[in-house]
Amino acid sequence: MKKLTMLDYVRLTPDVLKENLARSAELVAPLVEMLKKKPYRVLRIVASGSSSNASNCARPFLRHMLGMEVLVTTPYTFTHHEHELPDDELTVVVSQSGYSTNALDALDAIRAAGHPAVGLCGDLASDMKDHADVIIDYGVGVETVGYVTKGVTSFVLFLMLFALEGAKALGKIDEAEEAKWRKALETAIEGNISTLERTLDYLNQHYMELSSMNVVYLCGSGSCMGAAMEGALKIAETLQIPAIAYETEEYVHGPELQMDPNHTVFFLTGSEETWGKTTALWEATCMVTRRSYLITADPNAPEDDRVFKIGPNVEEDLAALYILPIFQIISYQLTEDKHLWHKHPLCVKLENAASGKSANYVPKEVM
């Protein structure tokens, strides 16, 4: 049986998204039941790494649909600094594997405070079952490589489906509004497929520049901020180069002063409100480096080979679903081509000395 690669899981993702959209009510029902228990004012998602990035991808849609503040907090910070747990806050803890010790510690902190510990994961048989009072499978299925892709995108959709079904359950949207957003999610999944199909051509068109990246900035806002964060993580952990995510305009409040022609910058925009500013920043950055790329939902964006147009008809809060495959595929293909799967030998010592997984965790292949 063929061993699946990171790229295989990227390609399998749209089928999982379609399946989960079709069973959305069943998939998110346990979390919707939690939401209905009292008039919550805040939803706090405790997550790290790609799960945190996915949460930030979905955060704008969650806020708009549920009419709640949505906070994304890393588990270490939650456990040691930010766990007041007021009665009007619904707190959930995420770990795709279900073996991340920081997530398990966060669940223990919630239990110790006398609140229900709610865990979201991809493996109901994982160690999370021993630390959570309620454990919910978010529908990723199996992913056996270390650099997760299917898990990220499927969790983004899970949170968006929770926002949609939760808004319906709370009477915040009617049937027509629900149908509108369900159609928008269908369109976004098709957009994910379109991006997936076009990214290798885009990579090959810019192969010399992208295969020699040294320092990378990724700039976005709203849902695109989450996509920028995940893109930065994927590039950094696979290609082993510095990659930093910045909110769009924060890029010109200090980070740009480091710029030279060797820097690579990706600008991400899925909102008509942000198209103009983002394009202007991209054009300005092109004065410094040829390695400046614009990923945009603007159908009237400049005709330039560095512009990757997503869409059409992109809903701003769903933009991350269109964009995530770009960085997943670029990270995989360049790491494969440059034979970078194996890290510096001292990194193995670091991983062994400071593992973030519980004792029952079975390490995954990195490829």
Q: What pLDDT score was predicted for residue 367?
A: 47
Q: What pLDDT score was predicted for residue 363?
A: 75
Read off the tokens for 277: 């500013």
Q: What pLDDT score was predicted for residue 45?
A: 98
Q: What pLDDT score was predicted for residue 365?
A: 58
List every span in the chain annotated with CATH 3.40.50.10490. 6-188, 197-337
Beta bridge partners of 298: none
Residue 137, CA distances (Å) to 95, 96, 187 in order = 10, 9, 25
pLDDT in tens, the chain (367 residues): 678 999 999 999 999 999 999 999 999 999 999 999 999 999 999 999 999 999 999 999 999 999 999 999 999 999 999 999 999 999 999 999 999 999 999 999 999 999 999 999 999 999 999 999 999 999 999 899 989 999 999 999 999 999 999 999 999 999 999 999 999 999 999 999 999 999 999 999 999 999 999 999 999 999 999 999 999 999 999 999 999 999 999 999 999 999 999 999 999 999 999 999 999 999 999 999 999 999 999 999 999 999 999 988 899 999 999 999 999 999 999 999 999 999 899 998 998 898 888 888 877 655 4
The widest CA-to-CA distance across the chain, in whole angstroms, is 57
Q: What are φ and ψ of residue 292, in 5° steps? A: -120, 125
The CA radius of gyration of the chain, in Å to the nearest whole number, is 20
Distance, in Å, from the CA atom of 237 to the CA atom of 245, rounded to the nearest integer, reads: 14
Kind of pairing between the strands at 118-121 and 134-137: parallel
* Domain 197-337 = CATH 3.40.50.10490: yes
Residue 237, CA distances (Å) to 75, 316, 357 in order = 20, 28, 17
Report whether 102 contacts 79 (CB < 8 A).
yes
Q: What pLDDT score was predicted for residue 364?
A: 67
Distance, in Å, from the CA atom of 367 to the CA atom of 363, rounded to the nearest integer, reads: 12
CATH (residue range 6-188)? 3.40.50.10490
Q: What pLDDT score was predicted for residue 249?
A: 97
Q: pLDDT tens across 253-305, in order? A: 999 999 999 999 999 999 999 999 999 999 999 999 999 999 999 999 999 99
